[in-house]
Chains A and B, each alone.
Chain A
Amino acid sequence: MLDCKQNTELLSQSYERPVTLGERIAMRMHLLMCRGCRNFEKQLVFIRKAARELPRKL
């Protein structure tokens, strides 16, 4: 079972490399039970979006 620290590491790595099916399932299981990590997951999406928009906002 993943803890929050491991889960955030995997969420972040899913932006860098293909995650395995097992990893994906483990993340989903954790996210089902953990509101903090669900918020974190959404915030990662937002942070990427913001950073990629930054060149147009300088």
Chain B
Amino acid sequence: MNTIDHDDLQQHRSYLLRYAMLQLRDPHLAEDVVQETLIAAIESDKFAAQSSLRTWLVGILKHKIMDVVRKRAREPQLEVAEGEDESELVDALFKENGHWADPPQTWNAPEKSLENAHFWNVFEQCNQRMPLNTARAFMMREFMEMTTEEICQELSVSPTNCWVLLHRARLALRECLDLNWFGNAR
């Protein structure tokens, strides 16, 4: 066990804030969960030496974020209203007969993008543009690496709805990266 230096904690603050923002997309909520995380860290006063301080903090943060998400999931009226129906996106991508309106083109050397700081800006922005619940489900799945079952449970939706959310997220993200990064705007 290591004891925690309060200055060290502060150094991780901005990282934790960005992490929380990706999932919650509300600066006040993000600020709150980060504050709670740091307080919890200080109160426990030690962490297992086998993990890095950041990994340990993110572990606490994930729990705090899920508390908020769970609470919100029980108040669906707050969030579903604002333009949540992105079935329009899916309709726009496919023709009536189910074929692509505009078939995906090859992406040029996508792996190289992962090394490019600007790519990550675009990636974050594309996430921000998704409707809240869609983005939330996607980030829980891929960013926080939760299982599909956990996500359905946390969001109080059926597995089928969960799959639909995740699929729409992938379609939306693919479209956004295609237009804004891989340059297949036609």
For the side of the interface on A, what is the size category? 20 to 34
A-B interface contact total, Cβ < 8 Å: 94
* Chain B residues closer than 8 Å to A34, beta-carbon distance: 103
Main secondary structure of the interface of A (DSSP, over half): helix
Once the chains bind, are B166 and A4 in contact (CB under 8 Å)? Answer: no
- Could you tell me the distance in whole angstroms from the C-beta of A23 to the nearest C-beta in chain B? 13
- Does B15 lie within 8 Å of A50, measured CB to CB? no
Q: Is the CB of A16 within 8 A of B148?
A: yes
Task: Digitize B98-114: 1 where CB-to-A-CB distance is under 8 Å, 0 elsewhere.
Answer: 11100111110011011
Interface residues of A in 1-40 (CB under 8 A from B): 3-6, 8-9, 12-13, 15-17, 34-37, 39-40
Residues in A with CB closer than 8 Å to B177 are 43, 47
How far is A35 from B145 in the complex, measured between Cα atoms in Å?
Answer: 30
CA distance A53 to B143 in the complex (A): 8
Give Cα A3 to B94, complex, Å.
10
Q: Compute how far the CA of A44 lies from the CA of B167 in the bound complex, rounded to whole angstroms.
A: 10
Which residues of chain A come closer than 8 Å to B114, judged between CB atoms? Answer: 49-50, 53
Most A-side CB within 10 Å, residue of B100, B166, B178 = B100
User: With an 8 A cutoff between CB atoms, is B34 at the interface?
Assistant: no
Query: In the complex, are the beta carbons of B104 and A40 less than 8 A apart?
Result: yes
B137 CB, nearest partner CB in chain A, Å: 11
- Given the known interface contacts A8-B171, A39-B103, A51-B138, the answer about A3 and B166 at a Cβ–Cβ threshold of 8 Å is no
B44 to chain A, nearest CB (A): 22
For residue B120, which residues in chain A have a CB less than 8 angstroms away from its CB?
A: 54, 57
Q: Does B6 contact A (CB under 8 A)?
A: no
Whether the pair B19, A55 counts as a contact (CB closer than 8 A) is yes
Q: A12-B167, A52-B143 are in contact. Are A39 and B94 (CB under 8 A)?
A: no
Q: Given A3, A17, A42, A53, which contacts B97 in the complex, CB threshold below 8 Å?
A: A3
B100 and A4 within 8 A (CB): yes
| In-complex Cβ contact of A16 among B97, B139, B162, B174 (8 A) | B162
Interface presence of B163 (CB below 8 A)? yes
B91 to chain A, nearest CB (A): 10
Chain B minimum-CB-distance residue to A15: B166
